[in-house]
Structure 1
Amino acid sequence: MYAIVDIETTGGQPAEDRITEIAIFIHDGDQVVDQFHSLINPGRPIPFFISQLTGITDEMVRDAPKFHEVAKQIVQITEGNVFVAHNVRFDYSFVKKEFADLGFTFQRKTLCTVRLSRKLMPGLPSYSLGKLCKSIDIPLQMRHRAIGDAEATAVLFDRLLKIDEKKVNDSQDEKLLETSSISKEIKTSLLPSNISKDMVDALPLEAGVYYFHDEEGQIIYVGKSKSIRKRIIQHFNIDFKSKKSIEFKNRIADITYVRTGSELVALLFESDEIKKRKPFYNRAQRRSVYHSGIYSYYDQEGYLRLTFQKAKTEVPPLLTMSNQFQAKNFLYNRVAKYNLCQKLCDLYKSTGPCFDYQVHQCKGACVGKESPEEYNLRVIESIDAFKYDYDTFVIIGKGRNAEEKSVVVVDNGRYLGFGYFDESFSASSLEDFKGVIRYYNDNKDTQQIIRGYMRTKHGDKVLVFSQEEDPAF
């Protein structure tokens, strides 16, 4: 049995918007045997442009039941049935969210008629409901109303059932029934319409970087994981987040990947790829230019001071930042966390005490009330929090196969890059390791990645180098 569902909403974000209409047609595999339809009072105004699209106005839903008043009927009519919809992620996410708000877990097997149509009726110009119905002569009354769209989807589903049944019968293969298109789609309906289960099953359960491409082949997202396949499956799970997350999944038409072996290398390579390719759906690490830096120096009185200024290539900063605003905010955070002096961190211009001293929050380094020795201990502690534990070191981890190792090189506090070597490799100096790596940019993100990784129970081998002695490998 199948419950063919369509909804109308106040907007496209399940976490924020609400359902205004729901229609359900029950199909027993041969024909429609039951149906349910209701306008729903969303408890909030319907935006004008939504009313223009659907024709549903505030006046129409003012006396309609609220979702909790029809929830029991929805549970009963869909109980034991497969939840079918055209772009099922959208409708299912909204229905699940409405039930979640009531403290009820709504769980049904799902089936997407967009995916099923692409598979059973390939080559059509469009698979949007309106254009698809026009292509195959399905009447569509009351477009963008739940009752009209659900009825058209029920007719479409009936045709798809018959096409699938004919394929099974024509095959004369007794085992095909268990793996018919509809059976497969029920198992994989949460996947984007262009992504098959076979494609996902072929992904490695290994560390690496993966790429989502759109239908034109453009990279729209770059990610990383200790297990590429598991992470990608997580991407395709239903969520309640936003219209953008649903749009993102619908745009995915292909998946490629690069195995790295090492989780750390995956993190570093992903960061570089995002900056280089600037995928539309990656935001956090898209910046690729770091204009500002955090620097330290001792003044004439012996106080260790922090400052922010334009990053200089000849003088490596303690930390790089995208801009002066970000650098300034970072120093404000250091001042608050380590009880530093605003004036000695270049945040308060005055010949007298800083503002914090005047409100009894600074211990007085700015006017000589706190000794350089006491003050500098806190500055050093704040610096150590965003520096590496060692100046020069390499991190040796897993490679892409059993005979290979990965290596990440940091020289004098600067990340140089990563590479691989096999069992025949022998190293006695840092220069030997430099010879096997590919060089990458050092920036705030790579510094944070390496610092964070070093503080986990990673199990990699760390070799520390000094000017006096290079450790043997």
Structure 2
Amino acid sequence: MKSQLFAIIDVETTGGGIAGNRITEICIALLRDGEVIDKYSTLVNPERDIPYYITALTGIDNEMIAKAPFFFEVAEKIEEFTKDAIFVAHNVGFDYNVIRGEFQLLGQTYNRKKLCTVRLSRKLIPGMLSYSLGRLCSTLNIPHLNRHRAEGDVDATVILFQRLLSLDVSFTIMNSFMNSRSKQATLPPHLSAEQITELPEASGIYLFKNQKHKVIYAGKAKNIKKRVLSHFYDKKNKEYHLGQETHFIDYEITGNELLALLVESEHIRKHYPKFNRAQKWPATTHQIISYINQRGIIQLALGKTKVLQDSVGTFYNKTEAIEKLEEICETFKLCPRFCSLQSNSEKCSHYRIKNCEGICEETETVEDYNLKVQAAMRALKENNQSFAIQGKGRTEGEIAFALVVEGQYKGFGFFDRSDAICNIEDYEPFLKLQQASYHTHAIIRSHLKKNGERNVVYFEEAPTLSNHRIKTLKKSAVKANLEDVFSHWDLG
């Protein structure tokens, strides 16, 4: 690589992401044997207005590029100028993809081997607080004049690259970065290959975090390492920006896909990650609730909420909820008026339910009517089954489980195959409480539909947790900022 030609490149653009970016200025310096042998710089007419915030950053305005050449007029020059060179830039993915995008608009291809001075600096000059071009130049005493203009940034990058060359005289690091089979060739600038190497090839969830360790994306995978790498191979605009903002990756092995889906859903609810779209907005639930009116009659009604609460029954479809309310009203000879199935204050006159025994006309006693309502409520709750879905754990000797109590998801956990688990209370010491939602309900419903009752353990009665367990769980909830969980679970 001693006589290798390097093209140190910087572009200024209109902004708007990789897909919509157009070049407003480009500068290329050719470097051979550590010395600059040629340079090319020009403004470019982007064929669109330059946003004000871009002008404020770069100083390039619409008047400056009005008479500048269009990209198609300089494309051949750029192609020839960089023909035998390795494409070098600070955060090379940005500049390379913008230039390649311009060639694609002309129906042409542009392919070069490339090196990123951000990644090279992280490897060869470790321990810096920041690897932005400005901060590196300041720390390493590199002159950086005319910032955010293509030529000014290229001149600074040339000096930085010369220093990097002096730290890798055998070109060992640079060769490894350009190897197409190396992780270094595709990784975002702020991620080390070691972080990827440490990822497991197992089912679970992964969290992309920014420089401040804030979760910006939560995902699930059957193979965590393979799925994480797929984000970086994807050239979509969203995936590019996700990679640019990712500094750290955390993960959690769940052992099976069901728990991975449930844990992913909890992280999306809890962290509201910037790059997640699905599951960020809570879906509306419809709940059959009960209350006592001024006459002492137990009334049933349909409530709409985005938070699961204790109720007679919870449904994720309004039609389904109304049908169930009509069904129990007719089965237990309740009054449609006191089941909120009609809004008038006179005697009931439902189009289908005709077997009211007179509570609305005061020919039936409140006591007798309330006994029927209580029976209906018991029957409805009995239909909400309690069960555990067991599955593959994180290790060979472990079993994972998701626990559902009276139709509501309560959480997940793991226990050893040697543990004596006979009834629902036996799951208690291993349970990690989670908040139920429309999404967890849909995940569990989909799993049961796909897999049937295989590995499902049903229980006849719901558990009553011990006072000690309640105190322990509440302390854990406060510590984890999950106190809201307890407003959705009657702990007796």
TM-score normalized by the length of structure 2: 0.68
Measured against aligned partners, the alpha-carbon deviations of 1:290-341 in whole angstroms (never above 9, x if no partner) come to 8x631369xxxxxxx9944356744154346xxxxxxxxx759999xxxxxx
Cα displacement (A) at 1:256: 2.6
Name the residue aligned to 2:112. Answer: 108
Name the residue aligned to 2:154. Answer: 150
Name the residue aligned to 2:163. Answer: 159
Q: Secondary structure at the match of 2:249?
A: strand
Q: Secondary structure at the match of 1:274?
A: helix
State the alpha-carbon separation in 2 of the partners of residues 198 and 131 from structure 1. 24
- Structure 1 residue runs of 5 or longer lacking an equivalent are 169-176, 298-304, 321-329, 336-343, 352-365, 374-388, 469-473
Measured against aligned partners, the alpha-carbon deviations of 1:344-390 in whole angstroms (never above 9, x if no partner) come to 9x9x9998xxxxxxxxxxxxxx995xx689xxxxxxxxxxxxxxx99
Cα displacement (A) at 1:56: 1.9
Name the residue aligned to 1:39. Answer: 43
Q: Which amino acid aligns with 2:285?
A: G
Name the residue aligned to 1:463. Answer: 456
Contact 1:20/1:41 (8 A) holds in 2 = yes
From 42, 52, 57, give the equivalent of 1:53: 57
Q: Which amino acid aligns with 1:448?
A: A
Q: Secondary structure at the match of 2:41?
A: strand
Name the residue aligned to 1:261. Answer: 255
Assess, with a 3 A threshold, how the Cα gap between structure 1 residues 334 and 415 changes in structure 2: closer, same or farther.
closer
Cα displacement (A) at 1:27: 2.6
Cα displacement (A) at 1:262: 0.8
Q: Secondary structure at the match of 2:168?
A: helix
State the alpha-carbon separation in 2 of the partners of residues 429 and 265 from structure 1. 21
Assess, with a 3 A threshold, how the Cα gap between structure 1 residues 125 and 198 changes in structure 2: closer, same or farther.
closer
Aligned positions of 1:424-439 closer than 5 A: 424-425=418-419, 427=421, 429-432=423-426, 436-439=430-433
Name the residue aligned to 1:401. Answer: 395
State the alpha-carbon separation in 1 of the partners of residues 118 and 452 from structure 2. 46
Cα displacement (A) at 1:61: 2.0
Name the residue aligned to 1:202. Answer: 198
Q: Secondary structure at the match of 1:185?
A: helix
Alignment: residue pair count = 396
Contact 1:293/1:317 (8 A) holds in 2 = no
Q: Secondary structure at the match of 2:18?
A: coil
From 404, 408, 424, give the equivalent of 1:410: 404
Q: Which amino acid aligns with 2:227?
A: R
Cα displacement (A) at 1:277: 4.4
Assess, with a 3 A threshold, how the Cα gap between structure 1 residues 110 and 467 changes in structure 2: closer, same or farther.
same
Measured against aligned partners, the alpha-carbon deviations of 1:193-241 in whole angstroms (never above 9, x if no partner) come to 4422122112111111223344454544433221111222223346342
State the alpha-carbon separation in 2 of the partners of residues 63 and 372 from structure 1. 78
Q: Which amino acid aligns with 1:185?
A: F
Assess, with a 3 A threshold, how the Cα gap between structure 1 residues 466 and 125 changes in structure 2: closer, same or farther.
closer
Name the residue aligned to 1:295. Answer: 287
- The more displaced of 230-239 and 6-15 is 230-239
| 2:313 maps to 1:309 | no
Assess, with a 3 A threshold, how the Cα gap between structure 1 residues 444 and 161 changes in structure 2: closer, same or farther.
same
From 179, 185, 190, give the equivalent of 2:177: 185
State the alpha-carbon separation in 2 of the partners of residues 164 and 117 from structure 1. 11
State the alpha-carbon separation in 2 of the partners of residues 416 and 8 from structure 1. 52
| 2:270 maps to 1:276 | yes
From 228, 235, 238, give the equivalent of 2:231: 235
Contact 1:29/1:161 (8 A) holds in 2 = no
Name the residue aligned to 1:420. Answer: 414
Q: Which amino acid aligns with 1:294?
A: H
| 2:127 maps to 1:127 | no
Cα displacement (A) at 1:15: 2.1
Assess, with a 3 A threshold, how the Cα gap between structure 1 residues 295 and 213 changes in structure 2: closer, same or farther.
closer
Q: Which amino acid aligns with 1:407?
A: F
Name the residue aligned to 1:359. Answer: none
Assess, with a 3 A threshold, how the Cα gap between structure 1 residues 82 and 466 changes in structure 2: closer, same or farther.
same
Q: Which amino acid aligns with 1:234?
A: S
State the alpha-carbon separation in 1 of the partners of residues 308 and 414 from structure 2. 31
Q: Secondary structure at the match of 1:138?
A: coil
Q: Secondary structure at the match of 2:157?
A: helix
Name the residue aligned to 2:24. Answer: 20
Name the residue aligned to 1:95. Answer: 99
Assess, with a 3 A threshold, how the Cα gap between structure 1 residues 4 and 333 changes in structure 2: closer, same or farther.
farther
Identity among equivalent pairs (%): 38
Q: Which amino acid aligns with 1:67?
A: F
Q: CA RMSD in A?
A: 4.0
| 2:440 maps to 1:446 | yes
Assess, with a 3 A threshold, how the Cα gap between structure 1 residues 455 and 44 changes in structure 2: closer, same or farther.
farther
Cα displacement (A) at 1:261: 0.9
Cα displacement (A) at 1:113: 0.8
Assess, with a 3 A threshold, how the Cα gap between structure 1 residues 319 and 108 changes in structure 2: closer, same or farther.
farther
State the alpha-carbon separation in 1 of the partners of residues 15 and 153 from structure 2. 17
Flag the structure with larger Rg.
2
Aligned positions of 1:357-368 closer than 5 A: 368=351
| 2:73 maps to 1:77 | no
Q: Secondary structure at the match of 1:236?
A: helix
Q: Which amino acid aligns with 1:155?
A: I
State the alpha-carbon separation in 2 of the partners of residues 146 and 86 from structure 1. 12
